Structure 1
Amino acid sequence: MAQPPQPRNLRAFARQLAALALPYFNSENKWKARGMLLAIVLLNLGAVYMLVQINEWYRVFYDALQEKNQTVFWQQIGRFGWLALIYIVIAVYKFYLTQILQLRWRVWMTDHYLGRWLAHKAFYRLELARYTEGSERLPDNPDQRIQEDLNLFTSYTVSLLMGIFNALVTLLSFVGILWTLSGSLTVPLPGFLGGGQWDIAGYMVWAAVLYCLVGSAITHWIGKPQVRLNFEQQMLEANFRHHMIRVREYSEAIALDGGERVERQQLDLRFADVMGNYLRLLKNQKSLTWFNSFFGQAAIIFPLIVAAPRYFSGAIQLGQLMQINSAFGRVQDSLSWLVDNYMSLAVWKATTDRLTGFEDSLAQQDRATSAVARSAPTGAAAIAAQDLSIGLPGGRHLLDHATLQVAPGDTVLVHGPSGSGKSSLFRTLAGIWPHAQGQVQMPADTMFIPQQPYFPDGRLRDALAYPESADRYTDEALKQALDEALLPQLADQLDRRDAWGQKLSGGERQRLALARVLLKRPAWVLADEATSALDEAAEATLYQRLVAAVRRAGGGIVSIAHRSTLIEHHRVRWALRPEAPEAAAAYRVEVSALPTSPAGAGGSGAASAG
């Protein structure tokens, strides 16, 4: 199980926090963000100022009660009304602006991380890297990092940092008041300390400090496991949700295999992990709640007990006692901020650790571009690869120093045993495979057809035009593409909304992917098992149309397939043959001409491998 990063000290955590938080306040929205933050700070200062005024009101009000001064009593009732009203207005706008800042910050961070996650195929590379050695250090469930963790991070960062600031300002504002009001406490010293007496100036302040230090130390000792438990809870919840999503995505395959029992077992295991960790977290929170409740209740009477000797001796009046009690409460609240917010701090720390891991992985993706250098697409008139070496995530070499070329008019069929690297070659030519080196040139007008095409949920016209906007194409063009792809039954369903990836059969999905190509008419097409689910007659018809379309556009086609029925539609074969055992790579590319036919005539399809 992945463990959260463990910063060695508070300074390391502060660096993590700054790395995540500062980009927003230095972004294009920095002046709005900084202005709102300044307004929240000023409102916090205003709230503390009002608390100081209310603390002074305690002394005057309770002295009036003790002296039975009705005039001053009613004056102070009126004064309290104004003080309370001003404090309420400040509190409301402080809450509102804090929430708005959290909202805007989350919007910016979500946009920022979505952009980085989707840029340069980082989402694909991160998912691919999960299956390589050392993947336990990679971030799990990027969807949760962006959706849930960013929300938690922005809300906890603003609320907790403002809480710390408010606690410090309150402490500075009330510690002087409490020091002045508490006076000195004379403590007789025992004989073994020399006898006499010890005058403790501002003894109420020292009592508050001692009380809160002991409470904070005990709280940290009890609640320390919560950082790890919260980190693991978020990860386990995401794993449970992710597996349910996979069951939904592969519902047909699971239903056909009768895999409900296995999936239920897997879901039960994941949910058991969720509940087991949650129970451990709950037990720790229970222990912390026991102590926090005791600490909070004791704080109600503790200052009265400490100040009682001076009150009963006549040194202070009731008003001063209540003012001392109020000031002590403010100082104690400030000093015990850690005690009151430890659970929130644990969640904040765990969330920050998770986002730091995600940020580090994205930064690594930003730095580590693919070793395959692709020339500008508009500058290539043909498909060409030079000195191309391809490997697998585990380090195994598939090809070394291969040179490949597909000229206009070429029709190339790639053959090879399973595991020989045909799909890896396809991904390398597409520029998304990170375990490759060499130079690849790809024409701009190129489309790729993967083994498992993707169709967004929604209107059929959007699934057909993806990733372009369906508005670029007329209904006639869309219907013609469906008809050419042998899907005339869908021509009247362009505006129907559905989960097309689940709704259509395997053969229909492949035909819909081919319909995209026939709609957009690219000059170059690279297809990976694009017709494996079709019958031979449909495959022949569609390949004839596909080859004719790319040739009319002045391009060519490269097909990966196992079936021999595609031979008649191609002129050149690239066969991946096993190398000798002592060779550095597992396979080499052998080029051979295929029998010339009307569908596959033309082109050279040159290739060589070192």
Structure 2
Amino acid sequence: MMDKQYRCSLSRLLFSYWKGEERKKAWIMGLLIAALTIAAVYMTLLLNDWFNSFYSALQNYDCQAIYHGLIQFTGYAFAYIAFSVYADYFQQKLALRWRRWMTEKYLARWTAGDMYYRMEVFSGGRGDNPDQRISEDIDSFTSQSLSLMQGLLQAVTTIVCFIVVLWNLSETLTFTLWGHTFHLEGYLVWTALLYSVAGTWGTHQVGKKLIALNYEQQKREANFRFGMMRLRDTAESVAFYHGGGRENQALFFRFLLAVANQYLVIKKNKQLSWLTSGYGQIAIIFPFVVAAPRYLTKKISLGGLMQIANCFGKVQDSLSYLVNVYTGIASWQACANRLRAFTDHMEAQTKAAQQAEKKMRITRGGHVLALHDVQVDLPNGEELLRHVSMTFKEGEKVIIRGSSGAGKSTLLRVLAGLWPYAEGKMELPAEGAMLFIPQKPYLPFGTLRHALSYPGEDAGDDVLIPLMKQCRLEKHVSQLDTEGDWMNVLSLGEQQKAAFVRILLRKPRWLFLDEASSAMDEETEAALYGLLPHLPSTVISIGHRSTLDKFHERGVEI
């Protein structure tokens, strides 16, 4: 049994789109798909009647009736094809709309409030490849959901339409058991029902483990891809260590984990294929076996036999819907579980952030930055900083020193609102007045102009070129409108120079530098730090070099 929390989460995944701002268009298109599906089923109902008349004409060598039947079949078949094609067409369009809507919502939530950072740093790996969840799983979930719902509608409609016909085609079955005579009305319907129930139960017993196996397979495949992506991102560092051999071992081990699970999936699919294939093949001949005695006793014609066989097949096939789509349901449920887990992780991080806000009392908008008895912990609960109290006045230039691992960078994360494991009281400037520069700046893919202007609007040549020359990036002026992966094109020292271009562009009131010149030579460092006094900025730096002291008025030891 699914617990209540899972059912609510699954219903939210399924129905949030149908209750959202696009619900009118979604329902109109959904009803159109339903109408086309029902119309296609109605065509199969007409074709079922056609079986009786056409095969009876064949049996009677009635040429005129045969030619008329062929023309009639052409019309029915064309209508059925048209209804089916357009039902699939609108289903794919609706799936794409649903995917776009869900992707927009998930991207907005993942990128809001530094969620992407919190899930990566504080989830202990439970974020489980958010890129795959948003790009692949949403696509699979929307398309498979609509496909399964359309299939279910088609099955239900077929049962409603054909079960009455099959009941009317069934004569009363009389048999004697334990000395008593029994009369069974609609025996063909009961036979189809029992056959389908037996097949559905057997399929579920064999295939229920596929759900967990598919979930685990996606996870292991994603981990394998992530390992290769990580090698690309850290290619130079690995190359300096000549670590290709170790990386090969690690990647191949992840691949073997995926292969091992895939063997289990293949084995389970083999068992399921034996059952479903055997079930399907027996279903072809089963109605003939059931109805043959009536044909052999000439109670029904060849057309009647074919009509019964076709009608029985339609009812049995619809009742066996779960058997036919069990593999698809297992894949869909595994996909839904991954999206549910991804949603739960984001909700957990949101709650953690809300709880952190309650522990840390923050006031904003003043002209000082002050910490009052602040305690900072590690995610495992271990104490990192205790009873931190310090004040920075607007316009000051302060350097924070301390041994590696003392908590200097973590303290900046607390000030930036990125570290939830802290409590106490802080007085902070307005949020838009603060700019944090990490040791390794982020440069987005695109033009160099876009990378230097990030995260604001692209600046013009008249602004950027003088700043690039001031920050000693003049050799890249000609590449301002060249697209590239600048985190790989520029050296770390040049990336840090690019960060200083951003500083001069933004002119923040409060500037926080975390080892922002560690990859520069001392002469360049002095030149760039020499630009900061000309800005209306309070500067708070973290650094180990004694050469930075002359650019700061006082020091704080952590």
TM-score range, shorter chain: over 0.9
Residue type of the alignment partner of 1:75: H
1:76 corresponds to = 69
2:395 corresponds to = 409
Report the CA distance between 1:15 and its aligned residue: 3.5
Task: Give the alignment partner of residue 87 of structure 2, picking from 94, 100, 109.
Answer: 94
Q: Structure 1 length normalisation: TM-score?
A: 0.88
Report the CA distance between 1:339 and its aligned residue: 1.1
SS at match of 2:518: coil
Distance 2:434 2:507 in 1: 9
Distance 1:122 1:251 in 2: 27
Report the CA distance between 1:527 and its aligned residue: 0.5
Residue type of the alignment partner of 1:526: F
Residue type of the alignment partner of 2:556: W
1:297 paired with 2:281, answer yes
Kindly tell me: are residues 248 and 42 of structure 1, through their superposed partners in 2, closer, same or farther at Cα, counting changes over 3 Å? same
1:21 paired with 2:14, answer yes
Question: Is the contact made by 1:521 and 1:549 (CA closer than 8 Å) also made in structure 2?
Answer: no
After superposition, where does 1:468-487 map in structure 2 within 5 Å?
468-470=456-458, 473-487=459-473
SS at match of 2:479: coil
Task: Give the alignment partner of residue 266 of structure 1, picking from 250, 261, 268.
Answer: 250
Task: Give the alignment partner of residue 521 of structure 2, picking from 535, 558, 565.
Answer: 535
2:426 corresponds to = 439
Tell me, which stretches of 5 or more residues in structure 2 are unaligned? none
Distance 2:414 2:329 in 1: 45
Distance 1:397 1:557 in 2: 27
Counting aligned pairs with the same residue, the percent is 41
Deviations 1:476-496 (A, max 9, x none): 211112111122211221112
Report the CA distance between 1:366 and its aligned residue: 3.2
Question: Is the contact made by 1:507 and 1:534 (CA closer than 8 Å) also made in structure 2?
Answer: yes
1:504 paired with 2:497, answer no
Task: Give the alignment partner of residue 565 of structure 1, picking from 547, 551, 556.
Answer: 547
Question: Is the contact made by 2:188 and 2:312 (CA closer than 8 Å) also made in structure 1?
Answer: yes
1:150 paired with 2:138, answer yes
After superposition, where does 1:348-427 map in structure 2 within 5 Å?
348-369=332-353, 371-372=356-357, 379-427=365-413
Question: Is the contact made by 2:170 and 2:187 (CA closer than 8 Å) also made in structure 1?
Answer: yes
1:580 corresponds to = none
Task: Give the alignment partner of residue 549 of structure 1, picking from 515, 530, 534.
Answer: 534
Residue type of the alignment partner of 1:324: I
Distance 1:442 1:311 in 2: 91
Distance 2:198 2:265 in 1: 23
Distance 2:460 2:387 in 1: 45
Deviations 1:550-569 (A, max 9, x none): 3xx2x310001112211111
SS at match of 1:390: strand
1:598 corresponds to = none
2:129 corresponds to = 141
Kindly tell me: are residues 440 and 212 of structure 1, through their superposed partners in 2, closer, same or farther at Cα, counting changes over 3 Å? farther
Kindly tell me: are residues 486 and 414 of structure 1, through their superposed partners in 2, closer, same or farther at Cα, counting changes over 3 Å? same
Distance 1:558 1:446 in 2: 11
Report the CA distance between 1:160 and its aligned residue: 0.6
Residue type of the alignment partner of 2:230: R
SS at match of 1:394: coil
Task: Give the alignment partner of residue 246 of structure 1, picking from 230, 242, 260.
Answer: 230
Distance 2:230 2:23 in 1: 40
Kindly tell me: are residues 293 and 11 of structure 1, through their superposed partners in 2, closer, same or farther at Cα, counting changes over 3 Å? farther
Aligned length in residues: 553
Report the CA distance between 1:97 and its aligned residue: 0.4
Distance 1:544 1:218 in 2: 78
Distance 1:224 1:492 in 2: 61
Distance 2:127 2:204 in 1: 28
Report the CA distance between 1:374 and its aligned residue: 7.9
After superposition, where does 1:100-115 map in structure 2 within 5 Å?
100-115=93-108
1:602 corresponds to = none
Q: Structure 2 length normalisation: TM-score?
A: 0.95
Tell me, which stretches of 5 or more residues in structure 1 are unaligned? 1-7, 577-610
Question: Is the contact made by 1:374 and 1:441 (CA closer than 8 Å) also made in structure 2?
Answer: no
Report the CA distance between 1:67 and its aligned residue: 2.3
1:276 paired with 2:269, answer no
Identify which range, 442-451 or 274-283, moves more after superposition.
442-451
Residue type of the alignment partner of 1:100: K
SS at match of 1:467: coil
Report the CA distance between 1:375 and its aligned residue: 5.9
Report the CA distance between 1:12 and its aligned residue: 7.0
Report the CA distance between 1:204 and its aligned residue: 1.0
SS at match of 2:419: coil
Report the CA distance between 1:507 and its aligned residue: 1.3
Distance 1:259 1:382 in 2: 48
Residue type of the alignment partner of 2:250: Q
1:579 corresponds to = none
Task: Give the alignment partner of residue 199 of structure 2, picking from 181, 205, 215.
Answer: 215
Distance 2:39 2:9 in 1: 31
1:235 paired with 2:228, answer no
2:186 corresponds to = 202
Task: Give the alignment partner of residue 317 of structure 1, picking from 301, 304, 312.
Answer: 301
SS at match of 1:369: helix
Kindly tell me: are residues 344 and 39 of structure 1, through their superposed partners in 2, closer, same or farther at Cα, counting changes over 3 Å? same
